[in-house]
Amino acid sequence: GVGACTGGTEYCSAGIWGPTCVGEVLPRTETCDGADNDCDIGIDEDFNFDSDLNYCGSCTNSCLTNRPSNSYPINCSAGTCQYACSYGYHDINLDLNTLGMAGDGCEYACEPSASTGIEFCDGIDNDCDGATDEVADLVAPPAGYCRTGGGCGLTVTTTCQIFDGSKQWVCNYPAAVERIANSPNLVKGFETLCDNLDGDCDGNPDDDFYPVKGSACLDTNLGICQGSGTYACKSDHTGTECVITTPGAPPSSELCDNIDNDCDGLVDEPAWNPGSNASYVNDSLATITVGGQSVFMFKYEASRPTATAASAGTGSELRACSKAGVIPWSRVTFEQAQQACRAAGMDLCEENVWEEGCDGSAVTRVYPYGNTYNASTCWGTDTGVTTAQATNSKPGCTSSGYAVLDMSGNLREWVRSLIAYSEEGKAIYQTRGGSFRDGSEALKCAHDTVALTEDAFSNNVGFRCCTRCGNGVVDADEICDDGNRVSGDGCSAVCGPDTCGNGMLQGLEECDCGRDPDALPANCIAINGAANANCSLNCTVPEELCSILYQEDQDRGAESSDCTDPFCNGTRCGDVTDNDGDGFTEPDDCNDNNALINPAMDENCATAYDDNCNGFINGAEPDKDGDGILRCVGAVTTDCDDWDPARYPGKPEICGNGIDENCDGSDLISCATACQIAEYERSYLGCEYFAITTMNDQLSNTFNSNFVLSVFNRNATPTTVTITKAGANVQTETIAANSYFAFYLAFDTTLKNGISSILNRAGGAYIVTSTQPVAVYQFNPFDFYIGTEFTYTNDASLLLPRHVMTKSYMVTSSPTLAALRPGFFAVAATSNGTTISVYFNGNAPGQAKGTTRTYNLNRGDVLQVPSSMSCTYSLYYCSNDYDLTGSTVTVTAGDPVAVFAGHNCQIIPDGYGYCDHMEEQMMPLETWGKNFIATITNPYNGTTASSNMFRILASEASTVVTFTPAVRGVANLNAGQYVDVTTNQNFTISSTKPIMVTQYLLGQSYFSGANEGDPAMGTLVPTEQFRTSYSFSVPSSITHNYVNIVKPVALAGRNAPVIYFDGVALSEALFSTAIGSSYHGVYRRNISTSPYTHTITSSQPFGIMVYGYATTTSYMYPGGLDLNIINIVE
């Protein structure tokens, strides 16, 4: 009767009780049902309605089954279920645990992407609080997200807004800023609108347009009619256009003044070539009567068009002028004087014509002014002057009747009278009239005893011009003469047909070589009337010029008739009959009766006579092609082709090209590998290199893994490149054909920061090996910036392969800077057991200038030598005693070494910031040259000015260096001495002995307005080591990259080779005129955008220099070179 329990009734059946008690209810396991199931007077006492999730508050309330939407139970508290939201759902209205099942549960579906209180500008509820992109929770865009500076302003605000269909941070740039389309923050890297605004925020409005806004410009008119102005923005803002601010003058009559007065594109044109305007120079002439004929003579001594009352002017290839009041033309050879007259349509005066013009009309006077000497009438020695005076400055020094001036004194004058030949074969011509140096006897009209060799060049020798053309009489050297000197009437101003000069032989013309040096007809060696030309201005064949200075056949006649004077037989005269028909005549042919003996024959080692007429027989035969292999060893032929230095025994065989390079009788056996062929060719391409992370302690540790070796595989098949250091493999890569790979390597921080002592760093070099020849450049470091940190101390080096290294070097460095930053050189050994001797040409730590020390290295070891920092300085540089330039490295035991040199961080020139790291691998002494073409680099951003410094270092005593144009005087140097030249001109350098020339970019502050760039150094390649092809790469992170291409340019009589840039021909118009004493010009190519690897080729050797710059940093290196042994190092 307790709880659910009740008693039952027991029945007796068949005498037995049970077996069951009918109706009895016994105690059971307690269940949650409101009853006392276990009959212990307790109802549901085994269940905790306060905390049991299954029976929370009652037997019928299970938190596990009765859940609000998108939630799960976390506990039962005081009989009430407590819930939490499932992942991705949120109880925004906070009714989950207040209304429970009566509420909407976790009604907000949201997967969080940020912690509470953090929002990103993306249109997403990142912290799932029911609100999107709340201003207070927004994370600001990263530093540098918006461009600042220039037209963008010092600071730029941002707004989180819908842009291009999505929510994102938008930079609030000024309206003038040119954004990149569909970008909320990026600004165009260059301006597309020329609007006087800084659209790309680089601080320079409209600086991306060419021609450059504000630069000078000219209109299309010619001569004095040409107007000038400046480039300004077009009205439609698409670019710049020339706005003329100073209009040209109207055309006037042509004068002989080096100016195009009549605006036809021709300057000082004579009557025979008046141009599109009928005006031409009318020289001041006098008419002289000789033998009953009129001859026209310059009234005044000849002068240059640029001459003034104070100056004789400049130039040699000009026309002569006859005008009063200017200094006459002296320092002129016979040929130059003759050419100057011919350019004026005349010739030098004949001796009898000159004398008639001097002694006067109808009389014969001793002096032009009379028969009695007057010391003050003409400019002779008695006047006391020491230079030529202006024409007509002695009006009384004039000939009677003809009124020709200065025929006595002032300048001695060349006349067309050949007297004799010198022993050297030079023609000797008469001069007349005396000069300011001569006394009364030499000033007489008839004085004819002074003659000079044709190349005489003196300040008291000049000339005047004459012509018979226009007197109505056809002379021997004329085709016609109609009594005037006017073209267009059938007979030209030089007494030839009007057709003369069109390059076609017509009518009575004896020849016509035209006026275009690039379109010379057959058998023509120069244009009409040019020096050495075989056709005169009037299309007659000129007289033969018989002299060692004239190697051509001017009169197109038989050579045997050209010379009768014995001194002329050294040029073209002698036996001109080829008796044996082998193409050679005596004396060149040593046996003109045997066609198998002549200068073109190979020496037959088995014969007993001189087959090739060089004076040697068989074993005595010299090495004609200079390949080091004799043609004959006794009677045995060794060099199979002694005319070609590329064929000799032992030469690597390039199989299949049809040439037997190694003289083994076939081009299909003993085939050389590509690496073996590269070793023979001795260029910057090779299969093994040594790289050094030279000192650069100003470089942040952020860049400690940014030392880069850029390897270019120019082969047609893939190449495998392996890099090791200290005997361990660092990285191996297979580089695709015609591709490059950048190996990012760690700096050796001991070398990078080792500025205070000489270091012998074991295993300090990276060693690069390749299965095929490659080009390798090292960048220290490669990237201009990483994240928000910039380097400011970049430079690069062209690496030279092991097979071109030698045992002799001299280094170029720079003085210690402010006792803080040293110059350096570093040496890498290529083999074990290497011993080097170092001569210190500057103070180093523990080593005084002038001392020598020996060091021992093994393969891959690096010796790094800084200049001493224990110095005082003026301005910023320490003295030259702290400059390692001129120090030498000589291997006394072991194999060749690699040598690098430069500066930890230098300013150039002294006093102009900022400092920058400089380095370059040194050329071996055996490869130094004597001839260089120095070209100025492209201006830095923010300025139109550009200058460079050049350091010229001598390797031997008594070295004489000249510069053209004269950017400085002649330099006389001894071994280890140098001179520096800073200039804004292109120029050439020539030396009597081998030199090294280093080019430097200058500090940014050297140029007003410059906002990028800093010092860098690059070895200038001598023309002797120019190549016909180059492959190179530039760093993409540097803002501006350029290459200077130096190649032969078109000149009169010289064709110009075409340069192919990545297979595309470059226009000849891109290149400058010939530089200095060379026939090379330069083109500066901008390569600042992708692609960053290039190949340049040509049919003739040319040179390249690669360089680049960004804000306060730069780099420079030669893009490639040959390294042939051209010097003997004692």
401 has a pLDDT exceeding 90:
no
Residues 20/32, Cβ–Cβ less than 8 Å: no
Average confidence (pLDDT) over 546-558? 59
Separation between Cα atoms, residue 213 and residue 388, nearest integer Å: 47
pLDDT given for residue 625 in this prediction: 63
Sorted by where each begins, the domain ranges of the chain are 216-246, 305-467, 468-571, 596-672, 681-1118
The architecture of the domain spanning 305-467 is: Alpha-Beta Complex (3.90)
C-alpha closest to that of 1036 among 753, 617, 740: 740
The per-residue pLDDT for 557 is 56
Residues 328-355 have pLDDT tens digits of 999 999 999 999 999 999 999 999 999 9
Using the predicted structure, report yes or no on whether residue 575 has a pLDDT greater than 50. Answer: no
Report helix, strand or coil for 226.
coil
- Mean of pLDDT values over 928-939: 97
Which of these ranges, 151-160, 667-676, 680-689, 804-813, has the smallest mean pLDDT?
A: 667-676
Sequence-distant (≥ 6) Cβ neighbours of residue 564 within 8 angstroms: none
Residue 124: is it exposed, middle or buried by C-beta count within 10 angstroms (0-12/13-18/19+)? middle
Q: Does residue 95 come out as left (phi exceeding 0), alpha (psi in the -120 to 50 range) or beta?
A: alpha
Edge to edge, what strands does the sheet with 240-246 contain? 216-218, 228-233, 240-246
Output the pLDDT for position 643. 66
Band of pLDDT at residue 631, cut at 50, 70 and 90:
confident
More confident of the two residues 667 and 525 = 525
pLDDT digits (tens, 9 = 90+) for 728-780: 999 999 999 989 899 999 999 999 999 999 999 999 999 999 999 999 999 99
pLDDT tens column, 216-273:
999 999 999 999 999 999 999 999 999 999 999 999 999 999 899 999 988 888 887 7
Dihedral angle of Cα 328, 332, 334, 335, to the nearest 10 degrees: -110
**Cβ atoms < 10 Å from Cβ of 390:** 22
Whose CA is closest to 776, among 766, 787, 768? 768
Compute the distance between CA of residue 898 and CA of residue 804 in angstroms, rounded to an integer. 10
Is residue 571's pLDDT more than 50?
no
Token pair 């998108």 is found at 70
- Answer with the residue of higher pLDDT: 540 or 14: 540
Q: Is the pLDDT of residue 569 over 60?
A: no
Classify the phi-psi angles of 638: left when phi > 0, otherwise alpha if psi is within -120 to 50, otherwise beta.
alpha
Q: What is the mean pLDDT of the chain?
A: 89
- Predicted local confidence at residue 578, as pLDDT: 66
Q: What is the pLDDT of residues 291-321, one digit of tens each?
A: 889 999 999 999 999 999 999 998 878 899 9
What are the strands, taking DSSP E only, across 936-1079? 948-954, 959-964, 971-973, 978-983, 987-1001, 1016-1020, 1027-1033, 1040-1048, 1059-1061, 1064-1065
pLDDT value for 576 = 45
Amino acid at site 53: L
Cα separation, 933 vs 565, whole angstroms: 42
What are the DSSP calls for 237-249, one per residue?
SSSEEEEEEEPPP
Give per-residue pLDDT as tens, 185-225. 988 888 889 999 999 998 999 988 888 899 999 999 999 99
Check: CB of residue 974 under 8 Å from CB of residue 947: no
CA–CA distance, 997 with 1018 (Å, rounded to integer)? 9
R_g (Cα) of the chain, nearest Å: 46
In tens, the pLDDT along 505-519 reads: 999 999 999 989 889
pLDDT above 80 (res 1130): no
- Residue 523: is it exposed, middle or buried by C-beta count within 10 angstroms (0-12/13-18/19+)? exposed
Per-residue DSSP letters for 592-643?
TT-TT-STTSPP-TTSSS-TTSSS--GGG---TT-SS--SEETTEE--S-TT
For the four alpha carbons of 8, 9, 13 and 18, in that order, the dihedral sign comes to positive
As a whole number of angstroms, the distance between CA 238 and CA 195 comes to 9
Q: Tell me the pairing of strands 888-893 and 789-790.
A: unpaired
- pLDDT value, residue 586: 64
Express each pLDDT in 583-618 by its tens digit. 676 666 777 778 888 877 777 777 777 887 877 776
pLDDT at 83 over 80: yes
Local confidence band at 1 (pLDDT 50, 70, 90 cut-offs): low
pTM for the model: 0.51
Helix, strand or coil, per DSSP, at residue 313: coil
- Which phi-psi region, left, alpha or beta, contains residue 343 (left: φ > 0; alpha: ψ -120 to 50)? alpha
Q: End-to-end CA distance of the chain, in Å?
A: 132
* For residues 551-574, average pLDDT: 46
Confidence band for 572, pLDDT divided at 50, 70 and 90:
very low
The DSSP element (H or E) to which 356 belongs, if any, is helix 351-359
